[in-house]
Amino acid sequence: MQNELTPEVGDKDVTVRKADLGRDIRSLISCSVGCMFGRYSLDVDGLAFAGGEWDDSKYSSFIPDKDNILPITDEEYFPDDIVGLFCAWLKKVYGEDTLEDNLDFIAKALAGKGNTSREIIRNYFLNDFFKDHCQTYSVTGSGKRPIYWLFDSGKQDGFKALVYMHRYDENTIGNLRIDYLHRMERVYDNKIARMQDIIDNSKVTREVTQATKRREKLQKQLKECKEYDERIAHIALARISIDLDDGVKVN
């Protein structure tokens, strides 16, 4: 069949890719987020949930987030903080004894900014995870098809949270606004008051300078959150439902 077949195979036709540590670590992180949402499970093969009837029996090793909302913040403020859940997932998959080694390995592969492994991983979630997700879930010529949706208050990183489209319902945005965004605003108010107390009472110049800088950042984040709250309030109150059969782009 020498006139009908060619031995050359183009890169686009190769389904087994050469190993790439950075890319593969990002895939590992994506898998962990899938487990946090219940899309995947450590106890069953393939997709555990992509719409339809939720089955608790599929999840025993690692329990998915209850309310389908994963906050992404520049510090750990919530019990279901995405970095905290990622650490819990790593413990369950690879064991608690190797957690710190694994965090160091992952942070090195990400090659991001931060003074500690957790900071580097947190910055990845803050700045790059959703970009990578959109790139993975895209259709050539048709654009992005993300199944995890990012709620993002803006460039100050005042508030970010992911939700899983297949677990979305008409209460999701309202819950996100009340249980997370409003709580974030209260956290910023308290932290600003604490910084102001240091500025007013500290005799150490370095402390005052650091507190002043931190207060300015917090004030910008609080302002951003309040403006974002106004923008999504009407969406939350509308209690919009979606039909998964309409596809990602329509929804």
pLDDT (tens digit, 9 = 90+) per residue, 80-108?
999 999 999 999 999 999 999 999 999 99
Q: Is the torsion defined by CA of 77, 79, 82, 86 positive or negative?
A: positive
* Residues 146 and 192 both lie in one domain: no
Residue where a domain terminates, one of 166, 198, 227: 166
Task: Specify the pLDDT at position 70.
Answer: 98
* Residues 29 and 145 both lie in one domain: yes
- Domain range enclosing 178: 169-242
Domain-embedded: residue 11: no
* Residues 31 and 155 both lie in one domain: yes
- 183-204 burial string, b = 16+ CB within 10 Å, else e? ebbebbeebbeebeebbeeeee
Domain-embedded: residue 8: no
Task: Specify the pLDDT at position 28.
Answer: 97
Decide which of 204 and 142 is more confident: 204
Domain-embedded: residue 249: no
* Residues 101 and 180 both lie in one domain: no
* Residues 120 and 234 both lie in one domain: no
What percentage of the chain has pLDDT greater than the value 70?
99
Average of per-residue pLDDT across 52-76: 96
Residue where a domain terminates, one of 166, 189, 217: 166
Average of per-residue pLDDT across 221-229: 98
- Which tokens in the block code for residue 13? 């036709």
Q: Give yes or no for residue 188 having a pLDDT over 90.
A: yes
Longest dimension (CA), the chain: 87
Task: Specify the pLDDT at position 88.
Answer: 98
Amino acid, res. 211: A
* Residues 93 and 213 both lie in one domain: no
Task: Give the chain's length.
Answer: 251
* Residues 40 and 162 both lie in one domain: yes
Domain-embedded: residue 9: no
Task: Specify the pLDDT at position 1.
Answer: 58
Average of per-residue pLDDT across 138-164: 92
User: Is the overall model pTM greater than 0.75, yes or no?
Assistant: yes
Which contacts of 37-45 are long-range, i.e. CB under 8 A and separated by 24 or more positions? 37/64, 37/65, 37/68, 37/70, 37/148, 37/162, 37/164, 37/167, 38/64, 38/65, 38/164, 38/167, 39/147, 39/164, 39/166, 42/92, 42/93
Distances from the Cα of 31 to the Cα of 86, 187, 189, angstroms: 10, 30, 35
Q: Quick one: DSSP state of residue 97?
A: G
Instruction: Assign 139 a pLDDT band (cuts: 50, 70, 90).
Output: confident
Give the chain's domain count. Answer: 2
| Burial degree of 140 (CB within 10 A; 0-12, 13-18, 19+) | exposed
* Residues 159 and 183 both lie in one domain: no
Decide which of 207 and 141 is more confident: 207
* Residues 193 and 119 both lie in one domain: no
Instruction: Assign 65 a pLDDT band (cuts: 50, 70, 90).
Output: very high
* Residues 152 and 182 both lie in one domain: no
The residue assigned the tokens 């959703």 is: 130
Domain-embedded: residue 189: yes
Domain-embedded: residue 142: yes
Residue where a domain terminates, one of 166, 189, 222: 166
Domain-embedded: residue 203: yes
Q: Give yes or no for residue 175 having a pLDDT over 80.
A: yes
* Residues 119 and 94 both lie in one domain: yes
* Residues 159 and 206 both lie in one domain: no
Domain-embedded: residue 4: no
